[in-house]
């Protein structure tokens, strides 16, 4: 792990193609190995059905990082990891070998065509909020009801 000062950051991970559990675990390691970045903690793995899409169930997790990378540089690095894991974007909400979402970057608010922070739909997603509440119970995350989610591994 790199040493890193900087901001408290949360990244969501998900996969629903191939060996999704192994992919999410390997992606957690890849994210923690980014320059000027340190993985502070990771959630359990969770399984849930796709939202606004079809395909196999997703395996999801969230990691808490400390990074000196600025939000745009971190986004580019996360997209590079997705490509390394075979991510393709044939259409909106297509099944994915790996999906990495920058959820929150300290208290920063960003609204550009490339990046919106905090993530604009995270408050609607149990697969984000349940793992977030697990690793960061000190923060005021909203509650999402009516979405089935199952913890599958620590």
Identify the active-site residue in 38, 99, 111, 121.
99
Catalytic member of 38, 42, 87, 125: 87
Point out the catalytic residue in the list 38, 42, 47, 96.
Answer: 96
99 catalytic residue (yes or no): yes
Q: Is the peptide bond before 118 cis (omega within 30 degrees of 0)?
A: yes
Is 47 a known active-site residue?
no
Residue 101: active-site member: yes
Single out the catalytic residue among 101, 108, 138, 151. 101
Whether the Cβ atoms of residue 14 and residue 96 lie closer than 8 Å to each other: yes
DSSP element (H, E) containing 65: strand 58-67
SS3 37: strand
Q: Residue 42 catalytic?
A: no
Please answer whether residues 139 and 132 qualify as being in contact, where contact means their C-beta atoms are separated by less than 8 angstroms: yes
- Catalytic positions are 87, 96, 99, 101
């Amino acid at each position: 792990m790199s040493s890193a000062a900087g901001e408290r950051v949360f990244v969501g991970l998900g996969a629903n193609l191939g060996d999704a559990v192994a992919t999410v675990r390997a992606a957690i390691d890849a994210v923690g190995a980014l320059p000027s970045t340190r993985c502070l903690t990771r959630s359990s793995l969770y399984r849930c059905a796709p939202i606004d899409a079809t395909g196999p169930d997703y395996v999801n997790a969230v990691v808490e990082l400390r990074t000196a990378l600025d939000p745009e540089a971190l986004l580019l690095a996360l997209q590079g990891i997705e490509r390394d894991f075979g991510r393709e974007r044939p259409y909106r909400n297509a099944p994915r070998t790996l999906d990495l979402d920058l959820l929150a970057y300290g208290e920063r608010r960003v609204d550009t065509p490339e990046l919106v922070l905090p993530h604009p739909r995270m408050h609607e997603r149990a697969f984000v909020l349940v793992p977030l509440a697990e690793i960061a119970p000190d923060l005021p995350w909203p509650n999402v009801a009516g979405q089935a989610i199952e913890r599958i591994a620590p």
